[in-house]
Structure 1
């Protein structure tokens, strides 16, 4: 590819994607809301741009082959905040991609689009939406937007329903963990697969306790290697007995399944900010 665009490049997950994505295109344009993203990798440039402004997305995506869309509020928040960043922002990315002739949107969706399903159901990529928050609702919107733009405008998309790309430090993460290496592999396969149409795939590592089924997305070639079971003995020894009637422990969305709508879900999670520094 000549040009690849990464939104949300200043975020924790974006920090791990920047360098690998420079290997897939002549130019990687990283974008976010910060003034300066710091040291750039060879072949990378940075443009400050606001997802909620269509004209800025149009400018960033001009001449791009694909866009990897990770930019958004990464937590539950009041609806007006989610509306601007996660819903209008998604529309602006897909609409600008269509107008600029971009081939594919590779989108960071989330397990929270189906977060109210019990973990005991081992859900596939084709289950109906069942969001747990406004944040999850916005992911449902973006997935449906991707489906619409494929059906009506032939703009491909891969919606990666990421479970938890963070350190394994609680019982839920023994099933939901997505290692950074597997995250990179997932994004690369979503880019390199010759034809995707509109596709959904779960972003989860090869965990013994994974609560989701990816077999209908096998054509993408995503074959995760890491397994959270290596952390199980320590995590379980340090954990209190879990109440099986508590939706926090029973549902795919974890704490997002019980938090009051509009309030932070991450506030109830011990997510370590291990952002990569160049």
Structure 2
């Protein structure tokens, strides 16, 4: 299977390549706005549709990761990179007749639940379990852009010929045959290889000089990541499951490890994809030595 990954040189893209790149089943084309010192990269800008189109030919699936990952990002920055850019990638995939589209959505599509309920929400006994069908509550322009990405993907795969013809000419006008499937993976927290553990954010803060290891901030970030961690091997398994999933249409799946403290319901992801997470943040009581 030939797969094009946009934003391939970022944290999530690098983790996917590390987990799945050596398998014989997949051939990856890495697309990013900048070259990579150790990996062949197609350099292209997703905000420039003309710059994209030729790279999607003979592709079986697209994994769209490229975005401005910035919770405080301005509307103008998010608009160009995450909204226009996502539309451009989808349109390029449609024109190239790519059948499968995997979209890196985010927990920030429902981030206001966490904003409203933290830090109590990090307690594994806290009574909240969100399904993929609960109302979106974006916490930022970034979260809003991921809501848009899910919605425009659904439009692409569900738009159809106007059944009313001239009686209702505006019923649906943007009909497309591709992609035939769009899967939104609402990713919680993926960190670089050095910090791929439930104490990763807390340890990163120590390394950056933001707080001390015995500080309240350190404990807070460890408690949070024990709930939100998506390990590299669980990410690789999830992407492998999505690429092998043959159901056409639109769907949403949670992207998180099997953490006791997660406040999202993994039942649907497990049942539909056969996902069996290998990692659980609650099983850690200290960072790796």
Q: When the two structures are superposed, what TM-score results if normalisation uses the length of structure 1?
A: 0.77
* C-alpha distance in structure 2 between counterparts of 1:80 and 1:25, whole Å: 39
* C-alpha distance in structure 1 between counterparts of 2:22 and 2:36, whole Å: 15
2:184 maps to which residue? 159
Residues 93 and 164 (structure 1 numbering): CA distance in 2 closer, same or farther, change over 3 Å?
same
1:219 maps to which residue? 272
Gaps of 5+ in 2: 122-126, 160-175, 192-196, 200-221
Query: Does the CA-based 8 Å contact 1:18-1:30 persist in structure 2?
Result: no
1:123 maps to which residue? 130
Per-residue CA shift, 1:230-249, capped at 9, x if unaligned? 22x338xxxxxxxxxxxxxx
1:74 maps to which residue? 69
Equivalenced residues, count: 228
2:33 maps to which residue? 33
2:234 is aligned with 1:182? yes
Following superposition, the deviation at residue 89 of structure 1 comes to: 0.8
Query: Does the CA-based 8 Å contact 2:61-2:101 persist in structure 1?
Result: yes
Query: Does the CA-based 8 Å contact 2:21-2:27 persist in structure 1?
Result: no
1:248 maps to which residue? none
Structure 1 stretch displaced more, 106-115 or 152-161: 152-161
1:202 maps to which residue? 254
* C-alpha distance in structure 1 between counterparts of 2:26 and 2:249, whole Å: 24
2:198 maps to which residue? 168
Q: What are the within-5 Å matches in structure 2 for residues 78-89 of structure 1?
A: 78-89=74-85
Query: Does the CA-based 8 Å contact 2:7-2:32 persist in structure 1?
Result: yes
Residues 199 and 63 (structure 1 numbering): CA distance in 2 closer, same or farther, change over 3 Å?
same
CA RMSD after TM alignment: 1.7
* C-alpha distance in structure 2 between counterparts of 1:37 and 1:160, whole Å: 25
Q: When the two structures are superposed, what TM-score results if normalisation uses the length of structure 2?
A: 0.74
Query: Does the CA-based 8 Å contact 2:11-2:190 persist in structure 1?
Result: no
Residues 198 and 21 (structure 1 numbering): CA distance in 2 closer, same or farther, change over 3 Å?
farther
Following superposition, the deviation at residue 126 of structure 1 comes to: 0.7
2:108 maps to which residue? 112
Following superposition, the deviation at residue 21 of structure 1 comes to: 4.0
Query: Does the CA-based 8 Å contact 1:30-1:46 persist in structure 2?
Result: yes
Query: Does the CA-based 8 Å contact 1:193-1:221 persist in structure 2?
Result: no
Which of structures 1 and 2 has the bigger CA Rg?
A: 2
Per-residue CA shift, 1:124-149, capped at 9, x if unaligned? 01112110000000000000011111
2:140 is aligned with 1:133? yes
* C-alpha distance in structure 1 between counterparts of 2:22 and 2:156, whole Å: 27
Gaps of 5+ in 1: 236-278
Per-residue CA shift, 1:177-198, capped at 9, x if unaligned? 1001001111111111122421
Following superposition, the deviation at residue 24 of structure 1 comes to: 5.8
